[in-house]
Amino acid sequence: MVDLSTDLGAGRRLPNPLMTASGCAANGKELHRFFDVADLGAFVTKSVMADPRSGRGTPRMAETPSGMLNSIGLQGPGIDAFVDEDLPWLKSVGARVLPSIAGSSSTEYAHVAATLRASRAFDAVVGVEVNISCPNVANRGLVFACDPLASAKVIALVREQLPRDIPVYAKLSPDVTDITAIAAACVEAGADGLTMINTLLGMVIDTDRMRPQLGGVTGGLSGPGIRPVAVRAVWQVRQAMFEGRMPTVPIIGVGGVRTGHDALELVAAGASAIQVGTAVFNDPSAPVRVLRELCELLEAKGFERFADAVAVAHGR
C-alpha cells in the first residue's frame, strides 16, 4: 500500500493528496450523495465573499472541446452564512476543509479571513485558499493575480488574519506573462503554498444569434482541454524553486484532471496535491475515482510514498 500522505506546509499533513476544486463542488452536500467527502484529503469550497452575491445572469455556460466556459460571477451566500451553515455541516461529516475566499478589495479578503477564523467550526479548516484570480469579476482580465504587488498585498493581509498553523494558498491565473514572478511575490508576502491554475479567460460566439453566447460575454475556460497549461505552469514555478529564484513551498495542481494518469502528470511536474474540478460535472464521483487510480498507478510504478513522485520529472 502506497503512503499517500502529503505535506500542505505550516505543519499540516493530509492523509491523501486529492481535493475538490473551488467552484466545481459547491459546499459539499451535493457531492456527499455520491461519495464520502471525508475520504478526500481536503474539500475545497466555492469562493466566498463578504456579502451574499447573486452572480451573473444566464446563459452562464458554453461547452468547448474537452471543456467548458463558465461565467458564474462568484455567486454565493456570503461569509456569515458560510460559517453558520456550510462549514459546520462539513465539520459534522468529518471533512477537512480548505475554504476558498475572494474579495473585490484587499480589505474584503482580510474581513472574510477574520470572520472565518472567529467561527465556531474553524477547527475543520486545514488551510485557506485565496482566490486572487477569478476571471468573472467586473474588471475581467485585471485580476489581482495579474499584478505581483496587488497579489502580495492581498496575501499579506490574509496571512495576518490567520493562525500560523493554517497554511495560506494563493490561487494563480495562467493568463500572465511570467507566472513565476507572481508566484514569488505571493510566497514572499507570506503564502505557504500555491494553487495552480485558475481558468483561462475565453469567449464563445453563438452563431445562430450572432452574439456572445454567455450572458457575461467572457468566461473562464476549464476542463481537460487546459491540462497542458496547468502542467506547464506547475513545472515552471517548481523549476524556479529548484533554481533558487524563490523559496520552495508546496504546490496544489489543478486544471483538467480527469483520471489518475492526469493527476500523476501534475504530480511529476511538481504538485504535492491535486484538485479535480470540471471532471466532476461529467462524473460526480471523479475525485475519489482519481484518487484510486492515482494510487494504483503509483503502486504499479513502484513508488512506496506519494511524496517520492512529487516533481520527479525535473532533471530527467
Partner 1 sequence: MSERAVRARVTQEVAEVIATRRVGAYQHITLVAPGVAELARPGQFVALAVGGETSGTLLRRSFSIHKVSPSGTYGGTVEIVVSAVGVGTRWIVEREPHDTIDVVGPLGKAFPLPTEPVACVLVGGGYGSAPLFWLAGELRDRGCHVEMVLGAASEDKLFGVVEARRSCDGVTVTTDDGSAGQRGWVSDPLPEIIDRTGAGVVYGCGPMGMLESITRVAQAHGAVAQVAVEESMACGVGVCMTCVMPVVGSDGKTRMVRSCVEGPVFRGDRVRWDAFDGGHARVPDDAVGAPKVGGH
- Residues that bind partner 1 in the complex, under the rule CB under 8 A: 23-26, 30-36, 46, 51-61, 63, 65-68, 70, 72-76, 78, 136-138, 209, 215, 223-225, 278-285
Cβ–Cβ < 8 Å for 276, 286: yes
Residue ranges for the binding site for FMN? 22, 46-47, 131, 171, 197, 223, 255-256, 277-278
- Provide the minimum distance between the beta carbon of 104 and partner 1 in the complex, in angstroms, as a whole number: 8
* Contacts of residue 209, Cβ cutoff 8 Å, sequence gap at least 6: none
The rounded distance, in Å, linking the Cα atoms of 172 and 251 is: 11
Residue ranges for the binding site for substrate? 46, 70-74, 131, 198-199
Grid cell locating 242: 529548484
Work out the burial of residue 186: count CB atoms within 10 Å of its CB; fewer than 13 is exposed, 13-18 middle, 19 or more buried.
buried
Of the two residues 230 and 251, which places its CB atom closer to partner 1 in the complex?
Answer: 230
Of the two residues 12 and 60, which places its CB atom closer to partner 1 in the complex?
Answer: 60
Tell me how far CA of residue 161 lies from CA of 100, 118, 129, 151, 189, in angstroms: 15, 10, 13, 16, 13
Of the two residues 225 and 270, which places its CB atom closer to partner 1 in the complex?
Answer: 225
- Provide the minimum distance between the beta carbon of 76 and partner 1 in the complex, in angstroms, as a whole number: 8
- Provide the minimum distance between the beta carbon of 123 and partner 1 in the complex, in angstroms, as a whole number: 25
The rounded distance, in Å, linking the Cα atoms of 1 and 33 is: 28
Of the two residues 88 and 212, which places its CB atom closer to partner 1 in the complex?
Answer: 212
In eight-state DSSP terms, residue 282 is H
Residue 31's nearest CA partner among 267, 303, 289, 309 is: 289
How many residues are there in the chain? 316
The rounded distance, in Å, linking the Cα atoms of 101 and 46 is: 8
Phi, psi of 90 (to 5 degrees): -60, -40
Of the two residues 127 and 223, which places its CB atom closer to partner 1 in the complex?
Answer: 223
Residue ranges for the binding site? 22, 46-47, 70-74, 131, 171, 197-199, 223, 255-256, 277-278
Is residue 24 part of the annotated active site? The answer reads no
- Provide the minimum distance between the beta carbon of 89 and partner 1 in the complex, in angstroms, as a whole number: 14
Catalytic residue among 24, 134, 146, 186, which? 134
- Provide the minimum distance between the beta carbon of 3 and partner 1 in the complex, in angstroms, as a whole number: 27
Residue 316's nearest CA partner among 251, 256, 257, 270 is: 270
Q: How far is CA 283 from the centre of its chain?
A: 19
Residues annotated as part of the active site = 134
